Chains A and B, each alone.
Chain A
Amino acid sequence: MEAIIILFLTGIIALFLGIFKQPKLTTVSSILGLVAAGIVQYFPLDILSDKYNILEFGDAGNAFVILALMITALIILSGDKGFQEDKSHVGDYHALLLFSLSGGIILIGFKDIFMFFLGLEILSIPLYVLAGAKRQSKESSEAAVKYFFMGAFATCILLFGVALIYGSTQSFELEKILEFTAENPVGPIFYVGLLFILASFLFKVGAAPFHFWVPDVYQGSPTVFMGYMSSVVKLVGVFAFVKFFRIAFDNVHEFWTILIAVLIAISMFIGNLSALVQTKFKRLLAYSSITNGSYALMSILYQGSVQDSSLWIFMVGYGMSVVALITISTIVNDERDEISSLKGIGYKNPLIGLVAIVALLSTSGIPPFTGFFGKLMIFSAVWVNYPWLIILALINSAIGVYIYLRLIMTILSKENSETTSKLSITILQQGVLISCLVILTFGWVFLAGWK
């Protein structure tokens, strides 16, 4: 609760600093605000929590909040160079990112559908604006329009489902819905409402059959905000999905787990097979995010996944890979966003090459890196009930290894591309790359510290 207030105040400070054209100070204050929010979240002050117990985090929630804060801080640092060039709007970018993140934190800690709905909207509405941040570009405005209509449609579907659930259980609180379904038989209206809510969640996390907006929106949005969408929003969305369904609808899980398992299998194949033929880097990342989002969504298939560490460690690996790859994409700064512009980048700057290789190996699940542990833990927990899904997931991992190894070959190829003659890399971006490298290599250390 205090963390949300700190983030919100930091956002307002960023708006004021933007008016007075202080881009450097804005970055410093946003980073300080994010760090302060993390500290307050980890060592709670309990000033407000006693009186307003509308949010409840727990140890797992705290870990997810801190991960989201950390990824956002890294994204702000890696996009800082681009923000500084656009002096008149730097405050707006920071403020909108921070407002959106405070919605994300509400979405991690919600206990009832009131806070869930508000958190979802506070998360989404700033992102509609950020998707269209490049106002002169046709692509960016198209991405904003598509994202807005898809998001608003998903919200309407969600609300209709919520109304139906309320009509059949008389409550908005997740625990009370669980109690009601344990004691009373539920009618068809309840199941229709559940399906509506399921559809809107699939929209929000970008899983099949509602994934079609993801590549367009990711390709059109500015790179930094695309990184935020595919890491923090996916993390928060999947966590909220798992928490909502595993608490409110746990008594009827026979009804929806098999449906979600089939949809996960479909979206893995769609993401991977489409990624095979991409020539644009951000579009490839978008399809990769569909696949990885469906791996993360597998944690909904077993009980207790909100409390255990598998989803978290998977998201550490995936989020850090996304941050590293979008930082590299920002450094290369190719307007046409072709994969071929990455050719030979590993020889021009060994640090970029090393980080790119580690990020890609971690995403494809090669052992010593963090991505492997997340995949291993999720897959082994799901194996008990859904062995066929894990076999399909392993086939998909093999296709994924092919896709990412091809990217690594491009990065290490001897011939130089003509577009990137000179790479300008700031000290902040170097810091981001090094911290991604450290976390992706030694991420398994976090597992020892899990309470």
Chain B
Amino acid sequence: MAGQLATIQGLTVDYYFILSTVLFSIGAIGLLTRKNMIVMLMCIELMLNSVNLLLVAFSSYFGTGDAQIFVFFIVVVAAAEATVGLSILIMAYRNNRNIEADLLNNLKG
């Protein structure tokens, strides 16, 4: 889509694409390198929101509405996932008194 003249708020879709790719990479790298599980949960939210940004940009660029509806579904699912994830983290904290990811090493073999 490079070289197209259609713009969103004065910017071509390429800029939105690059921004959301960068956000997604920050989230993915954070999830893989950080040890604190709360931060890992935040990284997942960052990745989901970068996808939302990309979908809305494409939707606006194509002039279609279906991707924006998809974004609502993603927001709802992200909320459900955050709820379940935080409760699981609280349960893990009660059992281990810690939320560092690399201290979870009871299962191996």
Contacts and interface: CB of A to CB of B under 8 A. Distances in A.
Interface of A: 113-114, 117-118, 121, 125, 128-129, 132, 135-139, 141-146, 148-149, 152-153, 155-156, 159-160, 162-164, 166-167, 170, 172, 215-216, 219-220, 278-280, 283
A160 B73 contact: no
Contacts, number: 122
Given A117-B73, A156-B27, A129 B104 contact: no
A146 B104 contact: yes
A153 B44 contact: yes
Given A142-B92, A148-B88, A149-B31, A160 B47 contact: yes
Given A118-B73, A139-B107, A159-B48, 17 more contacts: A114-B70, A117-B73, A121-B81, A128-B84, A129-B87, A132-B91, A141-B96, A142-B92, A148-B88, A149-B44, A156-B48, A159-B51, A162-B51, A167-B17, A167-B58, A215-B107, A220-B107
A138 B107 CA distance: 9
Given A121-B80, A148-B85, A163-B54, A139 B106 contact: yes
Contacts of A148: 84-85, 88
Contact of B51 (A156, A220, A280): A156
Interface string B1-37: 1000000000000000100100010011001000001
A195 B67 CA distance: 20
Contacts of A152: 44, 81, 85
Given A138-B96, A219-B107, A163 B91 contact: no
Nearest to A163: B54
Contact of A141 (B50, B85, B95): B95
A121 B77 contact: yes
Interface in B37-62: 37, 40, 44, 47-48, 50-51, 54-55, 58, 62
28 contacts: A117-B77, A118-B73, A121-B77, A128-B85, A129-B88, A135-B94, A137-B95, A139-B106, A141-B96, A142-B92, A143-B107, A145-B89, A145-B92, A145-B101, A153-B28, A153-B31, A153-B44, A156-B28, A159-B51, A159-B74, A160-B50, A160-B54, A166-B67, A167-B1, A167-B17, A216-B108, A220-B106, A220-B107
Given A152-B85, A159-B48, A166-B55, A142 B104 contact: yes
Contacts of B89: 145
B106 to A, nearest CB: 5
Contacts of A113: 70
A170 B62 contact: yes
Contacts of A164: 54
B39 to A, nearest CB: 12
Contacts of B96: 138, 141
Nearest to B87: A129
A156 B70 contact: no
Contacts of B50: 160
Contact of A145 (B17, B44, B104, B109): B104
Q: Give 9 closest A-B pairs by Cβ, nearest first.
A: A156-B47, A159-B51, A216-B107, A163-B54, A141-B92, A142-B104, A167-B58, A152-B44, A121-B77
B91 A135 contact: yes
Contacts of B24: 156, 160
B40 A149 contact: yes
A145 B41 CA distance: 11
B30 to A, nearest CB: 11
Contact of B95 (A136, A155, A156): A136
Nearest to A284: B109
Given A166-B67, A172-B70, A283-B109, A141 B91 contact: yes
